[in-house]
Amino acid sequence: MIARCAAAFAIFLAVMSSSPGLRGADDNDAKRKSLEFFESRVRPVLVEHCQKCHGPDKQWAGLRLDNRASLIDGGESGPAVTLDDVSQSLILKAVRHDPDASPMPPEGKLTPAQIADLETWIRDGLAFPEGAKVGGLPKPDPNHWSFQPPTDPEVPSVRDTAWVRTGVDAFILSELEKKGIVPAPEADRRTLIRRVTFDLTGLPPEPKDIEAFLADERPDAWNRVVDRLLASTAYGEHWGRHWLDVARYADSNGLDENVAHGNAWKYRDYVVQSFNDDVPYSQFLAEQLAGDLLPAEDRQTRERQLIATGFLSLGPKVIAEVDEKKMQMDIIDEQLDTLGRAFLGMTFGCARCHDHKFDPVSTADYYGLAGILISTRSMESFVKVAKWYENPLPTPESEAAKAAWEQQVTAKKSEIEQFIAAADAKVRETLPEGAPAPEKLETKYPEETTKALKELRDGLAKLEKAIPEVPTAMGVSEARVSDVPIHIRGSHLKLGDVIPRRVPTNMRGPETPEFSQSQSGRLELARWLTDPRHPLTARVLANRVWRWHFGRGLVASTDNFGTLGDHPTHPELLDWLAHRLLEDNWSIKALHRRLVLSSTYRQSTEVSPATLAADLDNRLWSRFNVRRLSAEEVRDSVLATGGLLDRTAGGPVLTVPNRGYLFDHTSKDLTRYDSPRRAIYLPVIRNNVYDFFQLLDYPDPAVANGDRSSTTIAPQALMMLNSDLVMDAAAGLAKRLADEGERDDAAKLDRAYQLAYGRSPTPSEAQQQLAFLEAARRTVSETAGSEQAVDPWSILCQVLLASNEFIYVN
Amino acid sequence: MFNQPLTRRHMLQQSAVGFGSLALAGLLHEQGLASGGNTNPLAPHMPHFAPRAKRAIFLFMKGGPSQVDTFDPKPLLDRDDGKPLPFDKPRVQFAPTGNLLKSPWKFQQYGESGLPVSELFPHVAQHVDDLCMIHSLHGSNPAHGGALMKIHTGSDNFVRPSLGAWLSYGLGTENQNLPAFVTICPTLAHGGVNNWGSAFLPATYQGTPIGNASIPAADAKVKYIANSRLPRAVQELQLRQLQAVNRSHIDRSGPDDSLEARINSFELAFRMQTELPQVEDLSDETPATLAMYGMDDPVTENIGRMCLLARRFAEAGVRYIQVTHSDSLVQWDQHGDLKNGHAAKAREVDKPIAGLLADLKQRGLLEDTLVWWGGEFGRTPTAQGSDGRDHNPEGFTHWLAGAGVKPGFRYGATDDYGYYAVENKVHVHDLHATILHIMGLDHERLTYRHAGRDFRLTDVEGNVVHEILA
């Protein structure tokens, strides 16, 4: 934990120092090793034990230990380091507690290993990163492209103006023309409708929609297809899922104690609905960070906004952590890391322990942000096994139920009182005149009265327990507003200066907001992020949307816009898109149209040798990339083609109660993935992701991820050949073909191709498949024995579902 | 970290052969270059330096076996039974514990090395001269979840690639028809799949689970390895047709790395489907071998089968094999009733583990196979309740055996009562660094760039324990 970024840093240094120079390779190597040694063994000691008094802020005895020159120059007692007589260096004498030096550090002696490390470091030449001060080095580049406010570039002029349909095309074509590349021709309509239907809805096009598009001769036929798809509920189910990747959505905690996020589905449904409603991204962002602090006109809005804050709550937590303070800071770290990646493409995690080595995020920035989250209530209790907080979401029904219940309780109570009064009166009647009444008349009740009273009381107890449940949703609320001290090297046991709540200050753009003393500051954070002048928010989103359409971002590292991230292939296009996003009031659907209606998007995947030579990796978008369907698309289209997909939307998915264990000490897997509903409505169980998805590169739901990979491994093939899901769907497709009426094999084959591939088979394909069908019939009858005979059509249908043409989109 | 060989696209471009050249595809395939789209990610890689071991078997004892009751005897603990621990307990404890509790078991020295082993492991004791005990292991997390993830992935608070995934990534595998990393009956609790997952490494490096801890080893299967509906002849016919359909598709759409790779993946899958059941089929083992693993006794049958499978996978060229001793109940986690609990657990594993060591040795496999035994933490020498021990990550024993380590050797020590590692301390990161070293990998050079940073198994920690290397 302490320095989880240092490996990256060491490599960075290695790269820096191994660049060709005048010195020989060995010198470079030695220098690199010394620097690595400094970074791993010396810098932590200097920062933790020396710098507070001998650093940039204070220079006790005139001594500063944060750069090489100051060490050699020394302070009032002379040089701290004597390179010609290393062991007599003042700094070593001090840490060794030699009698002729002041013992340092004052709070206690360093370990022998630390002292030895200091000596080794000095002996090896006192390596310091060049031009470096110990605090934050090497200097992060404040001029890094992504920290500058986006420009609003002119749309470039191009020679082939006819190709330009949206502004996107001008930027793309202008680069292609500079390289003498001709864009790929427009894909045919069958390819296009298959491409865009999967892209916008995650489902294959229906044969009737294909035919309608092919027959539509109006000039805006393509726009109409896009509009229809954007208006479908399937759109939100598919694009909402993209966002859930970024929100590291899961229906269970994962990590150490895998308990159920029983109400997480409300956040999932909120996301789907927000995409379908085209909620402006600025509002979507603000609701997720600070929905509880936003005004709400009505109960539904209020509820939606509270559910949205589930974004902050959904992270994996080590809830059996024994050290509660550490747990709290770990949770905040996870929240910061996620919101940093999701909204800014920044890795804040590094700054927990040290100033970010590459990006302008200091430890103070980190703890300034941490103050916002420590002032936010994310947890109900930190006592292991800890519980996350959930906002109550009372409904008229739940309120009515509660009122009815309260009435029943009151009625029951008064019934008991009346009963006691009557029984007491009877007892008093039996008492002799003038005798003092016993304190508890109940002791004198006859047996049947006692029994009846007990029954009444038991009834009350039972009623009181049956308090009607008020619905709740994972989310956050406000806690006591407070600021956080710097945790030195990330440790909550070593605290430094308290940092007032703030946002990172080194990014160019909107000024740092004033933080309210009566609120956590999440609202101010959200407003700062969605300020049109913010350099990152709109760019990061525009790039994400580009990535999800085109398979690779204009900035390939979608979640890292820092100096270690990739540079944009088309910086002006990215800025132009960011500006249009603002102009369109953060409408994501408007952004889709800019991209999908372009000629760039409509290119075919074909590539000429000349283009391949000039743009091997398609960095210039000289064609469309062939794409393997995502895990969810594979599953949903297998089921849809087999006629088995249930399109019911939304709602809970778990069989385990909220906070119940998915796995305790046992390994019994109670999670069911055999629901026929769309993939987004299957449970997402951390530590045990549905194997069908996991094999197809579903991302780890513990970490924000806007850039899924796509690998090809043999176990995927086993799954397509042997899983019940695929075989059931194949049987389903065979049944569908049979149910559609008495037709010959050729007609059935044609229909199967329409359903699976959106086209008819070529004559040679048909011939080949029908020959296979005959062979399959023969083999089945030859091998038929103990087992139930297999339907040869279902064998053929499985071939279609498992084939490349089904799994890949052009 | 490894040089990326030419992608197929680069080859096509540079060789000027043109498109659709099946001859070239065949050539690439022969060279093992085609099946991953650019290169086969699991082709055997050259290690950083000469490896001491070619493969490793991790025998993981879930729950946390007690060091002071198994391999690390403490005479003062016997003497001071019932007295308070004479020094501070850790700042963070899983739960409060009471006074010292002596071990219910006697220790005895064995073999030429004279290493001590308690009565719990009479069969393993016969092999002490092959064992290299590390008594000073320590971790950083006193809860099962965190400690399991630490032992398996090096991180207790982030999802990181498991040790086996790093090994697959660094070394590839010797048998392309089998996974590089298998884990037999792993627990789904406490980190679950993360403990054999590949996290941000490509999915191809993740462990292949064979069943899970709630399934008897005899019923444990790799998911989707067999088809329950189609006779083999029918499935072969189906696969041929599928490949024909895929070929004709690629001929129409033009060459593409990923399409080629997927065609090859079906070939590999079918070979895997054929070979894996053969490895798992024990019918060619002699009754004597089965007995050696304790498979003739219902108590030891389950772990015996796992250990035997481990040997067969090792023989077949799998790089990293994990056996998990767990079940649906409490495993080695005796917060109470230490005596009965540990005795029952030890009885289940003692003979099978001894059998595995003997079998590897007689087959010459121990010379290039590393065997690693241990739990996620040890237990407190102080009592929980009257007769239990709590979790203790501060000092506990793991042992290694076989390739690369000094046989009949003890390294490091806990204090007089067995609570803290005090001498030659070995952190979990150090153990990981050492295991990678034995396998020929430098833990500081085995890195993977993810989200703009270079990650490694040992984070920024880890020192190779050279003293235990043979």
Residues B269 and B398 in one domain: no
The number of helices, as runs of H, and strands, as runs of E, in chain A is 32, 12
A120-159 pLDDT, tens digit each:
888 888 887 665 454 433 356 768 899 888 889 999 999 9
Residue A20 Cα distances to A16, A17, A149, B56, angstroms: 9, 8, 34, 40
Minimal CA–CA distance to A136: which of A73, A64, A66? A66
Asked if the structure places residue A701 within a domain, the reply is no
Rg (CA), chain B: 24
Residue A84 lies in a domain: yes
Q: Which residues of A touch B157 (CB under 8 A)?
A: 1, 255, 318, 330
Residue B25 confidence (pLDDT): 34
Q: Please, are residues A507 and A147 in contact by the beta-carbon 8 Å criterion?
A: yes
Q: Let me know whether B157 and B240 are in one domain.
A: no
Residue B213 with chain A: CB contacts under 8 Å? 666-667
In angstroms, the CA A630 to CA A548 distance is 11
**Among candidates B10, B145, B273 on the partner chain, residue whose Cβ is nearest the Cβ of A718:** B273
A717 touches chain B (CB under 8 A): yes
Whether residue B25 is contained in a domain is answered as: no
Q: Tell me which of B310 and A493 has the higher pLDDT.
A: B310
The tens digit of pLDDT for each residue in A314-334 reads 999 988 888 888 889 999 999
Question: A736 with A750, same domain?
Answer: yes
- Kindly write down the DSSP assignment for every residue of A397-414, as one continuous string: HHHHHHHHHHHHHHHHHH
CA distance A363 to A494: 14
Cβ contacts of residue A670 below 8 Å, gap of 6+? A655, A656, A662
Q: For residue B288, give how far its alpha carbon lies from the nearest alpha carbon of chain A (Å).
A: 32
Q: Are B367 and B411 part of one and the same domain?
A: yes
DSSP H or E segment with residue A526: helix A522-529
pLDDT digits (tens, 9 = 90+) for B378-393: 999 999 988 999 999 9
Whether B272 and B132 share a structural domain: no
- Is residue B231 less than 8 Å (CB to CB) from chain A? yes
Closest CA relative to residue A761, chosen from A793, A800, A733: A800
A chain contacts of residue B446, beta-carbon cutoff 8 Å: none
DSSP letter string, A713-777: -HHHHHHHHH-HHHHHHHHHHHHHHHHT-S--HHHHHHHHHHHHHSSPPPHHHHHHHHHHHHHHH
pLDDT tens digits for range A666-698:
667 778 898 999 999 999 998 888 989 988 889
* Residues across chain A: 810
Answer yes or no: do A308 and A400 share one domain. Answer: no
Give the end of a domain, one of A450, A469, A488: A469
Q: What is the pLDDT of residue A159?
A: 96
Q: Are residues A519 and A596 in the same domain?
A: no
Q: How far is B175 from chain A (nearest CA, A)?
A: 14
Nearest beta carbon to residue A687 from set B146, B193, B447: B193
- Which segments in chain B show pLDDT lower than 70? 1-40, 328-330, 451-452
Give every CB contact of residue A761 below 8 A, 6+ residues apart in sequence: A749, A750, A753, A769
A722 interaction partners in chain B (CB closer than 8 Å): 224-228, 273
Q: Would you say residue B30 lies in a domain?
A: no
**B460/A6 touch (CB, cutoff 8 Å), yes or no:** yes
DSSP string of A601-638? TTB-S---HHHHHH-TT-TT-SSPPPEEPPHHHHHHHH
* A406 and A383 together in one domain: no
List the single residue in A320, A669, A712 with the smallest CB-CB distance to B258: A712
**Mean per-residue pLDDT over chain A, rounded:** 88
CB neighbours of B170 closer than 8 A, spacing ≥ 6? B45, B47, B436, B439, B441, B446
> For residue A81, is it within any domain?
yes
Residue A717 to residue B208, Cβ atoms within 8 A = no
Both A462 and A488 in a single domain?
no
B212 and chain A: CB distance < 8 Å anywhere?
Answer: yes
d(CA B235, CA A783) in angstroms, rounded, equals: 11
Q: For residues A68 and A128, what is the distance between their CA atoms, to the nearest angstrom? A: 6
Give the distance from residue B84's alpha carbon to the nearest chain A alpha carbon, in angstroms. Answer: 23
On whether both B442 and B406 belong to a single domain, the answer is yes
Instruction: Single out the residue of A214, A166, A190 nearest to residue A599, CA to CA.
Output: A166
Q: Which of A469, A501, A517 is the last residue of a domain?
A: A469
pLDDT category at A736 given cuts 50, 70, 90 is: very high
State how far the Cα of B252 lies from the Cα of A762, in Å rounded to an integer.
11
Range of the domain at A226: 161-231+552-614
User: Is B194–A687 a contact, with Cβ atoms under 8 angstroms apart?
Assistant: yes
A401 in the same domain as A386: no
Name the pLDDT band for A1 (thresholds 50, 70, 90).
very low
Mutation for testing the A interface, residue in B241, B391, B455 having most A CBs under 10 Å: B241
- Residue A687 touches partner B, C-beta closer than 8 Å: yes
pLDDT at position A9 over 50:
no
Does residue A671 sit within a domain? no
Measuring CA to CA, which residue among A351, A614, A384, A396 is closest to residue A487?
A351
Q: Both B385 and B264 in a single domain?
A: no
Taking an 8 Å cut-off on Cβ atoms, the answer to whether A666 and B197 are in contact is no
If one compares A98 and A180, the residue with the highest pLDDT of the two is: A180
Instruction: Say whether both A334 and A425 belong to one domain.
Output: no
Q: Is A714 on the interface with B (CB under 8 A)?
A: yes
User: Tens digit of pLDDT for each residue in A647-662?
Assistant: 999 999 898 899 998 8
Looking at per-residue pLDDT, the higher value among A77 and A336 belongs to A336
**Pair (A27, A90) in one structural domain:** yes
Query: Is A506 found in the same domain as A366?
Result: yes
B51: in domain: yes
What does B161-189 look like in DSSP terms, one character per residue? --HHHHHHHHH--S-TTS-SEEEES--SS
Whole-angstrom distance, CA of residue A373 vs CA of residue A332:
6
Q: Quick one: tokens of A427?
A: 């007892």
Q: Whole-angstrom Cα distance, residue B103 to residue B249?
A: 69
Which of these three, A590, A614, A638, is where a domain ends? A614
Residue B141 in any domain: the answer is yes
Min Cα distance A368 → chain B (Å) is: 23
Query: pLDDT by residue (tens digit) across A418-429?
Result: 998 888 888 888
Do B275 and B309 have their domain in common? no
Specify whether B303 is located in the same domain as B428: yes
Question: What integer pLDDT is reported at residue A737 of this predicted model?
Answer: 95
Question: Looking at beta carbons, which residues of chain A come within 8 Å of B187?
Answer: 667
pLDDT confidence band for A32 (50 / 70 / 90): low
Query: Minimum mean pLDDT among A284-288, A631-635, B385-389: which range?
Result: B385-389
Containing structural domain, residue B261: 222-280
Nearest CA in chain A to B454: A8
Residue A24 — very low, low, confident or very high, per pLDDT cuts 50/70/90? very low
Tell me: do A116 and A13 sit in the same domain: yes
Q: Is residue B335 part of a domain?
A: no
Based on its alpha-carbon atoms, the radius of gyration of chain A, rounded to whole angstroms, reads 34
Select from B439, B431, B420 the least CA-distant residue to B461: B431
The yes-or-no verdict on residue A11 having pLDDT over 70 is no
Q: Do B234 and A790 touch (CB under 8 A)?
A: yes
Residue B31 lies in a domain: no
Is residue B164 within 8 A of residue B181, CB to CB? The reply is: yes
- With both helix axes pointing from N to C terminus, report the angle between A588-596 and A189-201 in degrees, rounded to the nearest 10: 160
Please indicate, yes or no, whether the overall pTM of this predicted structure exceeds 0.80. no
Task: Please tell me the predicted confidence (pLDDT) of residue A806.
Answer: 97
Residues A31-58: what's their mean pLDDT? 76
3-class secondary structure, A223: helix
Asked whether residue A742 is domain-assigned, the answer is yes
**Full DSSP string of A447-514:** HHHHHHHHHHHHHHHHHHH-PPPPPEEE--EE-----EEEEGGG-TTSEEEEE-S---SSSSSSPPPP
Q: What is the mean pLDDT of chain B?
A: 87
Domain count, chain A: 5
Q: Please give the structure tokens belonging to residue A70.
A: 């100051």
User: Could you tell me the pLDDT band of residue A12, with boundaries at 50, 70 and 90?
Assistant: very low
Whether residues B203 and A323 touch (CB distance < 8 A) is answered with no
Q: Are residues B323 and B444 in the same domain?
A: yes
Q: How many domains does chain B have?
A: 2
Residue A606 with chain B: CB contacts under 8 Å: 254
**Cα–Cα distances in Å, from B34 out to A307, A322, B11, B269?**
48, 50, 11, 15
The encoded tokens of residue A469 equal 């449940």
Instruction: Tell me, yes or no, if B142 comes closer than 8 A to chain A by beta carbon.
Output: yes
Task: Name residues whose C-beta falls within 8 Å of residue A690's C-beta, 6 or more positions apart in sequence.
Answer: A671, A673, A682, A683, A698
Residue A208 lies in a domain: yes
Element at A106 (helix H, strand E): none
Cα torsion B398, B399, B400, B406 to 10°: value is: 120
Q: Judged by CB atoms within 8 Å, which residues 354-413 of B form the interface with A? A: none
Instruction: Give the single-character DSSP code of A50.
Output: I
**Pick from A285-294, A427-436, A713-722, A739-748: least confident:** A427-436
Comparing CB atoms, the residue among A714, A776, A779 nearest residue B265 is A714
Residues B456 and B367 in one domain: yes
Residue with tokens 């996107």: A168
Chain B residues closer than 8 Å to A322 by CB: 92-94, 142-143
Contact B145 A330 (CB under 8 A): no
Flag if B146 and A713 touch (Cβ within 8 Å). Answer: no
In a domain, A683, yes or no: no
Interface residue A663 vs chain B (CB under 8 A): yes
At B190, which helix (H) or strand (E)?
none
Q: Has residue A16 got a pLDDT over 90?
A: no
pLDDT of residue A664: 65
The verdict on B4 touching A (C-beta cutoff 8 Å) is no
Tokens for B117?
Answer: 């082993």
Taking the CA of residue A714 and the nearest CA in chain B, the distance in Å comes to 5
In this structure, the answer to whether residues A448 and A480 fall within a common structural domain is no
Of all residues in chain A, the one with the smallest CA distance to B204 is A713
Partner residue facing A702 (CB), from B159, B203, B228? B159
Q: Which residue of B has its CA nearest to A691?
A: B223
In this prediction, residue A766 has a pLDDT band, given cuts at 50, 70 and 90, of very high
How does DSSP assign B324-393, residue by residue?
EE--SS-TT--SS-HHHHHHHHHHHHHHHHHHHHHHHHHTTGGGTEEEEEE-S-EEEEEEETTTEEEEE-
pLDDT of residue A461: 93
Above 70 in pLDDT, residue A702?
yes
pLDDT in the model for residue A287: 98
The answer to the question of residue B414 being in a domain is yes
Q: Is A419 exposed, middle or buried (0-12, 13-18, 19+ CB in 10 A)?
A: middle
Residue A766 lies in a domain: yes
Pairing of strands B131-138, B409-411: parallel
Instruction: Let me know: does B12 contact B19? Beta carbons within 8 Å.
Output: yes
Report whether B290 contacts B152 (CB < 8 A): no
Contacts of B257 in chain A (CB under 8 A): none
Contact (CB<8Å) B254/A607: yes
Q: Are residues B114 and B136 in the same domain?
A: yes
In a shared domain, residues A585 and A734: no
**A575: left (phi > 0), else alpha (psi -120 to 50), else beta?**
alpha
